[in-house]
Structure formats: C-alpha cells, structure tokens
C-alpha cells in the first residue's frame, strides 16, 4: 500500500520558537495532503487541506499565520508551528490522498513545547 | 459543515462476541464513509470504507452498513479477537473533484477480553 512518512517523529522545543514538520508520500504522488491535530484520547481534528502549488485551506478556528502550510511538490507538504506555546503541544498527523478516495496517514509527530 | 457523531465511546466485549459501532452524519451530500483503526501510538489505518451508492459492504469479519435516508452508518465486527482491541474512528466526506476532506467521529475504544 501507499506509504506516508513524517519527520520528525517527536520534537521538544522552547516556547516562542518555531518548529517545522515534514510529510512525504514515498511511493505515490499526492495532489492533496491533510494536516490533523490529535489530543490524547481524542479524535482527529482537521486543521487544513493542502493542495500542491496552491494555498492551503484552513478549517474554522485554525490560525493560518500560526500554522504555516506549504505544499511545494506532489510528494512533500510541511507544517510550521510558529512562535510555539505550551498549548500547541499535541500529536500532529498528516495524510495524503492518491487518485482514489483513500487517505493514507503518516505516523504522526509528537510536539512538546516547554 | 459536516458533523459526525459516534457511539459508543467505549465498548467492551468478550472474545468471539460481535461489536457494533454507530455513526451519524449531518451533511446529506457526503458520499464517502471510511472506518479507521488506530492502535496506541500508531497511525490510523483504513479497515473498510463504503460509498453512498452502496448499502452494505463486507470484508471477512468486518462489515459496514449505510442508511442514506437516516444518515447513519455502522461498523460490525464479528468473532472479535483480542487483536481487534483499538480505537475505531468513523468519518464522512464529500468527494467531488478535488474536494475531499474527511470529518471524523470522536472515536470508540474497543476492548476485547480473552
């Protein structure tokens, strides 16, 4: 099946710094990638939809200036958490869609802001 | 926008029993309904999906039913095994051209006891 990777798998950063998370589709071209946030024992909350070569579409309540998304190629999307604060600590998961309906999820990135 | 409700939040069964998880959605335009299994600390994995032109789909011990009129769909797991223990998420989405985001239910934590 299709494989999606994320890097890093976990990161600890200090409050006020920025963190970049990469999402790659390894064996297929993904015209659309999605970024989710998941709190412990909770559901996947869609943050934004990212289409290659165009601006991301953010869900209501998600600050686009804080969560910068770039989808520069058909295999790579990045999420940058700017000026991170402790409340941004969470599990961030990306997914990528191929030509079918299915979304393939990455392994997730655990962000801890101290 | 779409809203997905999922019940129950937790489900405990004995090995060999059946498990049923139910979801309702709000947007009658939604046409794709996948189910994901997420084990602790791992990425969500698609286990079965159904499209709006089908009422039922089965894959070995797993089946999904869809009632478009009532806007609800259900996951049925028969002959449960301890390795079925995980969190299960339903999702609903409208797939039309490039628009294909999924909205997830809150999740059901299934425990299968030997």
Quick: pLDDT tens for B53-65.
889 999 999 999 9
Does B95 have pLDDT greater than 80?
A: no
Q: Chain A residues with CB inside 8 Å of B2's CB?
A: none
The answer to whether the Cβ–Cβ distance between B89 and A43 falls below 8 Å is yes
Q: Which residues pair with B32 in a beta bridge?
A: B51, B93
pLDDT at B97: 62
Dmax (CA) of chain A? 40
- What's the pLDDT band for B90 if we cut at 50, 70, 90? very high
Residues A34, B102: C-beta atoms closer than 8 Å: yes
- pLDDT interval class at A20 (50, 70, 90): very high
Residues B65 and B51: beta-carbon distance below 8 Å: no
* Reported confidence tier of residue B44, pLDDT bands at 50, 70, 90: very high
Q: Is the pLDDT of residue A22 over 70?
A: yes
Burial class (CB within 10 angstroms; exposed 0-12, middle 13-18, buried 19+) of B20: middle
pLDDT tens string A76-105:
999 999 999 999 999 999 999 877 778 899
Distance CA B51, CA B2 (A): 16
Distance from CA of B51 to the nearest CA of A (A): 10
Rounded CA separation A65/A45 (Å) = 18
The reply to whether A101 touches chain B by the CB within 8 Å rule is: yes
Q: Specify the pLDDT at position A112.
A: 97
> What percent of chain B is helix, strand and coil (3-state, nearest 5)?
5, 55, 40
Place of tokens 């139910």: B22
Q: Give the length of chain A.
A: 114
pLDDT, position B2? 85
Quick check: A2 pLDDT over 90?
no
- Please give the average per-residue pLDDT across A29-45, as a whole number: 90
Angle at B26 between CA A66 and CA B76, to 5 degrees: 105
Verify whether the Cβ–Cβ distance B43 to A106 is below 8 Å: yes
Confidence of residue B99 (pLDDT cuts 50, 70, 90): low
Query: Per the CB < 8 Å rule, is B51 touching A49?
Result: no
- Look at B49 and A102 and tell me if their CB atoms are within 8 Å: yes
Q: Give the span between the Cα atoms of A37 and A40, in whole angstroms.
A: 10
Q: How far apart are CA A87 and CA A21, in angstroms?
A: 17
Task: Find the CB nearest B43 among A45, A51, A107.
Answer: A107
Question: Which residue in B53, B89, B98, B99 has the most chain A C-beta atoms within 10 A of its own C-beta, making it the best mutation to test that interface?
Answer: B98
The rounded mean pLDDT for chain B is 93
SS percent in chain A: helix, strand, coil, step 5: 5, 55, 45
| Euclidean distance between CA atoms B78 and B51, whole angstroms | 22
């Amino acid at each position: 099946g299709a494989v999606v990777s994320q890097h890093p798998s976990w990161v600890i950063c200090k409050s006020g710094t920025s963190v970049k998370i990469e999402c790659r589709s390894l064996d297929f071209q993904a015209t659309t990638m999605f970024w989710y946030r998941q709190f412990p024992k909770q559901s996947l909350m869609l943050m934004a939809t990212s289409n290659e070569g165009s601006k991301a579409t953010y869900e209501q309540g998600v600050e686009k200036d804080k969560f910068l998304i770039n989808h520069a190629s058909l295999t790579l999307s990045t999420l940058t958490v700017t000026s991170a604060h402790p409340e941004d600590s969470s599990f961030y998961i990306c997914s990528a869609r191929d030509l079918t309906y299915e979304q393939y999820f990455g392994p997730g990135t655990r962000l801890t802001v101290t | 926008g779409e809203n997905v409700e999922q019940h129950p939040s937790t489900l405990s069964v004995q090995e060999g029993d059946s498990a049923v998880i139910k979801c309702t959605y709000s947007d009658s335009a939604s046409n794709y309904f996948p189910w994901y299994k997420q084990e602790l600390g791992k990425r969500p994995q698609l286990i079965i999906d159904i499209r709006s032109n089908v009422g039922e789909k089965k894959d070995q011990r797993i089946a999904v039913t869809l009632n478009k009129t009532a806007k609800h769909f259900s996951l049925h797991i028969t002959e449960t095994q301890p390795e079925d223990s995980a969190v299960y998420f339903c999702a609903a989405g409208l797939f039309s051209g490039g628009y294909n985001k999924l909205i997830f239910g809150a999740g059901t934590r299934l425990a299968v006891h030997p």
